[in-house]
Structure 1
């Protein structure tokens, strides 16, 4: 049977005790709707509650809530138990809470999400076997380091690690530790064959997108992929860290702490680009129109955040997307070229070779050897 997580936006008067009581009311009648309430999370600060429920469908879940107490959820998404546990640390009520009559669980589902990885220092090094071997070794070090900051590894592949933290402070301190370890290993000077990238954002498991923590993950990925700087923090993470640490300001040349304006601009930029990169006619004017910005202001913002002009940003986005598609081995080169917004196969091959110093066909051959090896 499917597992769902729902979100309830509650009033300021609602307390942890009230939410616990509502949970118990669900459990008393859940069998009538073929549902099973697994657990819940309550965030008193943000006044949100999240229920994890096994149910035949969303309608049954809503009916159970309605009959139990009338508190129908604002949003419902289908989730995977293993993913929920990897992010939030549990998929059932904690044992200690079960000793209480109403099972009070004052545990917010708010998490700080980190995307971190060691990438080649220059694009042409993506096929260097020694470089890739060293990257795998460094990812092992990252994996072993995060546990000391109470981080939970959600996902790992050859390009990045996805990590969940309860504490914003622990997440940022972990990022600084990883940066320190990297600099001790490879130094601070430019020209290294390796580059550390860390993106941090914080949010709730059910927001505007349909996926679990999807909004927060996408934002952290955008910092990891496109923003200049080694460690990039969202405005949310910056403000929470400074409030948790007596308003200590984050000041470091290698740490980029975005303000609310830049955060909003970048999210809109990435959202628009993600939906339109396949359009070969996409250009700077389209960005300006969507973002409601003048051409000069749009140009300055994109350069300041990404280090690239709008046209270079589009091309780089498309080429990196082409790497992802070619790596899956489900697409041929022509399909990838046109899917990523290149209206000429020859021009795509030229741009690919100019950037990565290798033809797309050679890249496919390398990835096939890597999979078979």
Structure 2
């Protein structure tokens, strides 16, 4: 049976005790709708609650809520139990305290999401084995450090890590420790980047924490500097730590709300057009609503690259992924990634990675 996570926006005055009563009403009624309520999260501060329910379909979940207590969810997404537990820490109600009739769970589903990416700047044969060894060492360190800060490793790919933390402080301190482990070893051909943002699990997107993951990914992908966070993370950290400022830590870059909005707009547009050979900087100016000079200044300040260099590097990164899959020829990949000719593609690729595209398959 499918598993669903829903969002309830709580009216003023509704407390965790009220939500506990509604959860109990669900449990008392669920058999009538072939549903099974597993647990819930309640955040009095942000006025949100989330229910995790096995149900035949979304309509059965809605009918259950409507007839049990009348609180219809604002949004419902289908989820995987393993992923939910990785992000939120549990998939069933905590054990009820003795002599307590109602299991009140005042546990927010708001989480801090950290993405760490390790990227190789070189693909030259003399560097590859050294870099692979270094990446394995960093990966081992990261997996050992995360649990020390109550973090959960949600997903690991070859050189990428997605983590969830209950508090901003744990995420920041974990990120600093991970950064220190990288700074302790000189590996000039590796780029080591951390991005941290926070949010709720259910939004208008289909995936759990989709907006928050996207922001953390963008921070670790394109923002200059090795450790980037949103201004919301900075504010939350200072709120948790009696206004201790993060600005004294020069290794952490805080992007403001306007920069975050620009970053999202830039990446959303880039992801929609990067494969088109006719796309140029004029398209960025038009679609982002920036003049040529303002776009250049904003890109250099936030990304550290001109619009032309940013688009070229984005395409080359996509091309590298395709080359590693070995499912197309170099000429096909050149055109698929928006380059005007295979010769120009090979020239750009060699300049960035130190090898020709034809040599990537050997790695």
Normalised by the size of structure 1, how large is the TM-score? Answer: 0.91
> Which residue is 2:297 aligned to?
300
The alignment status of 1:319 with 2:313, answered yes or no, reads no
Counterpart contact for 1:117–1:139, Cα < 8 Å: no
Counterpart contact for 2:35–2:55, Cα < 8 Å: yes
Q: 1:363 to 1:180 in 2, by over 3 A?
A: same
Alpha-carbon shift at residue 144 of structure 1 (Å): 0.2
Write out the 4+ residue segments of structure 1 that deviate beyond 4 Å after TM superposition.
329-332
Alpha-carbon shift at residue 253 of structure 1 (Å): 2.8
> Which residue is 1:350 aligned to?
347
Query: Where in structure 2 are the equivalents of 1:10-159 lying within 5 Å?
Result: 10-96=10-96, 100-120=100-120, 122-124=121-123, 128-159=128-159
Alpha-carbon shift at residue 332 of structure 1 (Å): 4.5
> Which residue is 1:205 aligned to?
201
> Which residue is 1:364 aligned to?
361
Between the aligned partners of 2:147 and 2:353, the Cα distance in structure 1 is 35
Alpha-carbon shift at residue 171 of structure 1 (Å): 0.7
Structure 1, 304-313 or 176-185: larger mean CA deviation: 176-185
The alignment status of 1:264 with 2:261, answered yes or no, reads yes
> Which residue is 1:192 aligned to?
188
> Which residue is 1:214 aligned to?
210
> Which residue is 1:371 aligned to?
none
Between the aligned partners of 1:244 and 1:257, the Cα distance in structure 2 is 17
* CA displacement 1:200-250 (0-9 Å, x = unmatched): 111111123211111111111111111111110112111111222222222
> Which residue is 1:162 aligned to?
162
Between the aligned partners of 1:324 and 1:238, the Cα distance in structure 2 is 33
Q: 1:37 to 1:309 in 2, by over 3 A?
A: same
Alpha-carbon shift at residue 157 of structure 1 (Å): 1.9
Q: 2:222 aligns with which of 223, 226, 243?
A: 226
Query: Where in structure 2 are the equivalents of 1:232-271 lying within 5 Å?
Result: 232-251=228-247, 252-271=249-268
Counterpart contact for 2:26–2:68, Cα < 8 Å: yes
Between the aligned partners of 1:125 and 1:234, the Cα distance in structure 2 is 35
Alpha-carbon shift at residue 99 of structure 1 (Å): 6.5
Alpha-carbon shift at residue 161 of structure 1 (Å): 1.1
Counterpart contact for 2:83–2:154, Cα < 8 Å: yes
Q: 1:192 to 1:103 in 2, by over 3 A?
A: same
Counterpart contact for 1:124–1:355, Cα < 8 Å: no
* CA displacement 1:2-29 (0-9 Å, x = unmatched): 1111111111211101111111111111
Q: 1:6 to 1:97 in 2, by over 3 A?
A: farther
Stretches of structure 1 that go unaligned for 5 or more consecutive residues are 367-373
Alpha-carbon shift at residue 345 of structure 1 (Å): 3.0
Between the aligned partners of 1:315 and 1:359, the Cα distance in structure 2 is 16
Between the aligned partners of 1:5 and 1:218, the Cα distance in structure 2 is 19
* CA displacement 1:273-301 (0-9 Å, x = unmatched): 11221222222222222222222111111
